[in-house]
């Protein structure tokens, strides 16, 4: 079997480690290099325990990544948005396809970056060429033909998988949607700060970045594409005292004249041929433990036909933030870009780290 040469930049972060772990067992790729400033010169095996040829690679600094990518078909960037903004154009100029796990190319409107990401977008022309990589609800042919894939954020993935099929079917009223979601601590990355230390996080749940989280415009963008019109959305993230996983609860209202039973029917029809998304019978069945360590998502919907708020729709979804919310989704997109079977190396479950 022909193997495509690839590289991973930002390979010492949680998502980067997961990429290396999944790719180490991928029969269709040959990982030529891994880049990390913090672990320069050390082998992947020494830092992560990953075996095989990937485990034998030594990390090169980010400054050498573009040169190391010579001859590669694609490079995955598990880097902060500012770093991706610097590296992606250089790789693209050399004919290397890019799967970017940061938010650097997710938003179609370049003017939104100063407010939501804190920097001016220096390559706004690339935003028109970047393809949003959520295969289950986006155009797979467009992803496969892309030179630059913007891998979705973890919270937007959970929200979009739950809501987009219902919006496309016109089943939700033209009212604001409220998304409350909770994530494990790994969603914050490898931050050595007091706020994410064990004593601060353990036995506690708290909201953060209320009404100012950088994923909010991405969620709104995905929902608007699904609905074919702007969608008002309020997103509130919460920090859970666990390592990984996201549980997202979206609240909306049934569209006038829509059948309550059509909600579950629509989700099942949308994901009938999508093995990585399971539609469950009731929201109470959706749980982080069900998807942690896997490339899968779970989703379920309920609607109040009577009671205190008739017509209220609640859609609950769960993903592993490091896999379906980052690394496994990036490999899913990589497979499409390289013309490989989409779920190659993603089934059975990739495993858990950390």
CA pair distance 229, 44, nearest whole angstrom? 46
Chain position carrying tokens 């390979």: 11
CA nearest 275: which of 298, 292, 293?
Answer: 298
Catalytic (active site) residue 72: no
Check: CB of residue 187 under 8 Å from CB of residue 167: no
Residues 6 or more apart from 86 whose CB is under 8 A from it? none
Q: Active site residue: 20, 72, 154, 199, which one? A: 154
Q: Which helix (H) or strand (E) holds 247?
A: strand 246-253
> 93 exposed, middle or buried (CB, 10 Å; 0-12, 13-18, 19+)?
exposed
DSSP per-residue string spanning 288-331: HHHHTTSS-EEEEEEE-SSTTSTTEEEEEEEE-TTTTTTHHHHH
Q: What is the CA radius of gyration of the chain?
A: 20
**Residue 56: helix, strand or coil by DSSP?**
coil
For the annotated catalytic residues, the residue numbers are: 154
């Amino acid at each position: 079997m022909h193997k495509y040469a690839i590289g991973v930049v930002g390979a010492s972060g949680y998502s980067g480690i997961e990429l290396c772990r999944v790719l180490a067992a991928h029969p269709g790729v040959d990982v030529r290099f891994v880049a990390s400033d913090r672990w320069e010169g050390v082998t992947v095996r020494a830092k992560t325990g990953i075996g095989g040829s990937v485990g034998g690679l030594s990390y090169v600094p980010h400054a050498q990544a573009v040169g190391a990518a010579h001859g590669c078909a694609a490079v995955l960037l598990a880097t902060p948005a500012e770093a991706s903004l610097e590296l992606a154009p250089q790789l693209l100029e050399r004919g290397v396809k890019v799967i970017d796990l940061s938010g650097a190319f997710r938003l179609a409107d370049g003017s939104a970056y100063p407010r939501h990401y804190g920097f001016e977008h220096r390559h706004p022309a690339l935003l028109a060429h970047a393809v949003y990589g959520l295969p289950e609800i986006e155009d797979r042919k467009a992803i496969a033909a892309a030179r630059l894939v913007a891998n979705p954020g973890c919270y937007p993935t959970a929200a979009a998988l739950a809501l987009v099929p219902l919006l496309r079917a016109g089943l939700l009223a033209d009212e604001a949607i409220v998304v409350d979601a909770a994530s494990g601590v790994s969603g914050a990355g490898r931050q050595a700060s007091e706020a994410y230390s064990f004593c601060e996080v353990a036995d506690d749940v708290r909201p953060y970045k209320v009404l100012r989280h950088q994923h909010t415009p991405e969620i709104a963008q995905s929902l608007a594409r699904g609905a074919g019109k702007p969608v008002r959305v309020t997103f509130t993230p919460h920090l859970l005292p666990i390592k990984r996983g996201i549980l997202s609860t979206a609240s909306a209202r049934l569209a006038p004249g829509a059948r309550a039973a059509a909600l579950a029917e629509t989700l099942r029809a949308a994901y009938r041929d999508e093995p990585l998304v399971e539609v469950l019978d009731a929201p109470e069945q959706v749980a982080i433990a069900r998807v942690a360590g896997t490339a899968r998502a779970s989703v379920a919907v309920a609607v109040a036909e009577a009671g205190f708020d008739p017509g209220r729709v609640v859609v609950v979804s769960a993903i592993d933030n490091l896999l379906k919310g980052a690394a496994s989704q990036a490999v899913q997109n990589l497979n499409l870009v390289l013309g490989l079977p989409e779920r190659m190396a993603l089934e059975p479950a990739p495993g858990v780290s950390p």
